[in-house]
Amino acid sequence: MAMEARPQVFINHGGNDLSDYFVRELATALRDQGFNVFIGSDERGARRGIKYIFRAIESSDVALVIFSDMYAASEWCLHEAVRIYDRHREGKLVLVPIYYRVSKEDVNMFQGRFGECFVKTLKTRGINGHPFADIWKTNVNLICTEPGFTSKDFCNIDVIFMVAMVHWVKRRLRSRNLPSDIDMFIPKQLEPQEGFGKELL
């Protein structure tokens, strides 16, 4: 009897920024729970090409779009997000936006360091003439309308944030036809404990 294929999670993030260590730990936790994990930034570094990455998105069950201050510094990262939302809109992929040490408002409005990185990316071809500028902005705005996780809701304590996401992914894949229930995984009150993540605040 053939073994059932393990569900695949695609992680879309900027790479080489504050979110990088978090992404590595999250990927390990997901693999420990029986998921295949594909990290887009790894394949960018391996120079496999955007078509290879798009095929990985198309074969994934869940995509985690991890926004951080430096997210928009990568054109490939923004291209991946467009394909992810396309698949989500077609009903073929569960999409979860994650705001890691950045506010949803800054991402949605292209403010703060997130916005500064986006402007720098546009300037690579001239800010008034980048062919994907409007597509990227619209796509980010659409992703921000989806239910997601914000690290601030977990007092920026990575381990608690990570555990909540892993549990949500497991629950969501077991009940794909049910409404998204992210709110039940967000703590109503969470105070950092001495010696446990307090130094991260």
Active site residue 4: no
Paired residues of 97 in beta bridges: 65
Name the active-site residue from 75, 80, 90, 116.
80
Q: Express each pLDDT in 131-151 by its tens digit.
A: 899 999 999 999 999 999 998
- Provide the strand spans (E) within 136-176: 149-150
Structure tokens at 113: 């360091």
Q: In the prediction, which pLDDT does 194 show?
A: 39
Q: Express each pLDDT in 27-47 by its tens digit.
A: 999 999 889 999 987 765 556
Q: Give the span between the Cα atoms of 188 and 197, in whole angstroms.
A: 18
Among 14-28, 29-43, 53-67, 104-118, the range scoring the smallest mean pLDDT is: 14-28
Tokens 């062919």: give the residue.
131
Among 105-114, 116-125, 180-189, the range scoring the smallest mean pLDDT is: 180-189
Domains along the chain with CATH numbers: 8-200 (3.40.50.10140)
Give the contacts of 111 (CB within 8 A, at least 6 positions apart). Answer: 105
Q: Strand order of the sheet with strand 62-67?
A: 36-39, 8-13, 62-67, 94-99, 149-150
Q: In the prediction, which pLDDT does 197 show?
A: 31
Alpha carbon 18 to chain centroid distance? Answer: 13
